Structure 1
Amino acid sequence: MNLEETLYREDIELAPLSARFFAFLIDKNIIAFLLIVIYWDAFSQCQGNYSAIVALILKMIWQLIILNVIYETIFLFLYGGTLGKMLLKIRVVNVSVLDSPNFLCSLNRAVVKTISEHLGYIPYVFVFFSPFLQAFHDYTAQTIVIKNA
């Protein structure tokens, strides 16, 4: 049985792109907030100087990348979605079992998604050509994003 028939039989709907986009924005704000909390002393020394803040963020780009991967991996593995996805009542499932992805699948998705973001979001274009609205990180991790029942 193919994926389309399985989704129909199980009465599962794909998450709309608008929900995925807003979940993405929520997650990016959460990660930014966490980064500011973790490095509050360094940010407070910038005293509102925009160029100093940008320079500080560029110095800690690896910490930001690692924080992003950890956040995505843990929430996806434990809950089937990040806080943004949970708020918008969508979740990520593995296409073969239609349940939350395992740890390696979650890690794969998080790493490829983070790399895609640093490639100018170009791999996100896949979503417009996929019948199951899969971005490149969904293809590599064998996942889809669905509405939470």
Structure 2
Amino acid sequence: MKAEELLPLLGAHPFLDGLPAAHLARLAEGAFARSFPEGAFLLREGGEADALYLLAQGRVTLEIHRPGRDPVQVESLAGGDILGLHWLFPPRRWVLDARAVTPVRSIGLDAGHLRACSDADPALGYAVSLRLLRQLYARLERVRLQRLDVYRAEP
């Protein structure tokens, strides 16, 4: 898909909600559509963290690999979520696996392009950073609730 075809998809994703049209157009220049069949890996631990994925449809499980044992599922994501934050900082490697539980449709934002856009346009970089921080905060809250196991019935 071309940038102009991806533009409405970017604007419709909750992560980019409210982003000015000029910023969306700039991000679309480095965007690509990507689909994954059920069971496919979107990310593999140790691989190059080269994109931020905006999940449009489907479900993804985040897993930590354990040599000689089954992986541990640490989180589930769905359409409307984002996937992949390790492109931000060196060494820019994925630290877990992401597997499609159902067929997944996504829009990838090339990490190099995203970093370059953010450096060249501080307003765009700030807007993206705020959205990333909001996502990180929400995930930390989910982890906090999991650690507390607030839904487990007391004996």
Q: After TM superposition, is the score higher than 0.5?
A: no
TM-score by length of structure 2 reads: 0.24
**Relative to total residues, which structure has the larger strand share, 1 or 2?**
2
TM-score by length of structure 1 reads: 0.24
